[in-house]
Amino acid sequence: MGISVSNISKSYKDLKALQNISFEVKPNELFGLIGPDGAGKTTLFRILTTLLIANEGEATVAGLDVLKDFKEIRKYVGYMPGRFSLYQDLTVEENLNFFATIFGTSIEENYELIKDIYVQIEPFKDRRAGKLSGGMKQKLALSCALIHKPKVLFLDEPTTGVDPVSRKEFWEMLKRLQQKGITILVSTPYMDEAALCDRIALIQDGEILQIDTPENIVKQYPKTIYDVSANNMYQLINSLKAYQHKHSVYPFGEFVHYTDTRSDFNPKELKTYLEAQNLSNISIERTQATIEDSFMELAK
């Protein structure tokens, strides 16, 4: 009851939104599609939820073909689009009732599945959806996407614009849904969320850069990364970029992530160079690669 995507391409006029995309999501997997805005994530979601037809390639969802079986698929998938798409003028409860009725079920029948999520917004069940906060809208949208007990759940950037507390709660909810046997495909531009998925595909400009578990992707990073810091960030970046042996120089919060072209790199040498550039309080320490480092190395 997973997802299978094989050689899918989609263009809008001259723009190649998806280029020959293939991957498999195993039954009951929590699979992340990680990439920036414009990578093609939403196009892929729309193809898999039968709302858009690909130019080339094939895909199945829960064993059903997205073209031939489009009507059937819609019974088995839940879709939470990136843009809030519920009825703003209906109340929380009316929205949920509406979606339950459309799918020929009732809130009571499937309450068990949404209970965890819905109890948090139930106190506001008479409030119009348009008047909810971002975090509450997200919970209502998820409840509506789940009310017909889908086998496969599609979540397009569910955490965009949501604060860290609501984000954390949201990912905890996803884990619980997974435990109930639902297959989940979730997209996000936020690389730190990648670690919360079983497997991920890194996607940019309509192409998949790599597919693996987050741990393996980070493990395969080819270089040793150093956290470099000094008294002046702007001058530090410029100096590192001008260093003849640099492989990559990327600001990373309070540090700069530096990699060297040489295999016998000696940090002391770099320190001497930076001191000669009038930098002080220099610190150079080995650090672990993150998904973002891997993404940048692959996209280079």
CB of 278 to other proteins, least distance (A): 14
Residue with tokens 């960030």: 233
CB of 298 to other proteins, least distance (A): 10
- Token representation of residue 43: 């196009």
Q: Shortest distance, CB of residue 39 to other proteins, whole angstroms?
A: 8
C-beta closer to other proteins: residue 91 or 248: 248
Helices then strands, counting H and E runs in the chain, come out as 10, 14
C-alpha to C-alpha distance for 51 and 45, rounded to whole angstroms = 9
Given the structure tokens 């709302």, which residue do they identify?
A: 51
| Burial class for 49, CB neighbours closer than 10 Å (0-12, 13-18, 19+) | buried
C-beta of 83: minimal distance to other proteins in Å? 13
Cβ at position 147, least distance to other proteins in Å? 25
- Name the minimum Å distance from CB 162 to other proteins: 7
- We find the least distance from the C-beta atom of residue 71 to other proteins, in angstroms, to be 34
Q: Which of 65/227 has CB closer to other proteins? A: 227
Q: How far apart are CA 137 and CA 203, in angstroms?
A: 27
Nearer to other proteins (CB atom), residue 112 or residue 172: 172
Tokens 């949501």 appear where? 162
- Compare residues 35 and 214 and give the one whose CB is closer to other proteins: 35
Q: Dihedrals φ, ψ of 121, to 5°? A: -110, -5
Nearer to other proteins, 86 or 203 (CB): 203
Q: Which residues of 115-150 are buried (b: 16+ CB within 10 A; e: fewer)?
A: eebbeebeebeeeebeebeebbbbbbbbbbbbbbbb
Beta carbon nearer to other proteins, 198 or 205: 205
Q: Which residues bind other proteins (CB under 8 A)?
A: 35-39, 133-135, 160-168, 189-192, 204, 232-235, 237, 250-254, 292, 295-296, 299-300
Which amino acid makes up residue 91?
T
Q: Using CA atoms, how far apart are residues 160 and 163, in angstroms rounded to an integer?
A: 9
Rank residues 130 and 181 by Cβ distance to other proteins and give the closer one.
130
Find the shortest distance in angstroms from Cβ 136 to other proteins.
9
How far is Cα 193 from Cα 214, in angstroms, rounded to an integer?
Answer: 10
| Residue 297: both structure tokens together | 């190395």
- Identity of the residue, 118 or 295, whose beta carbon is nearer to other proteins in the bound complex: 295
67, amino acid identity: L
Q: Are 208 and 39 in contact (CB under 8 A)?
A: no
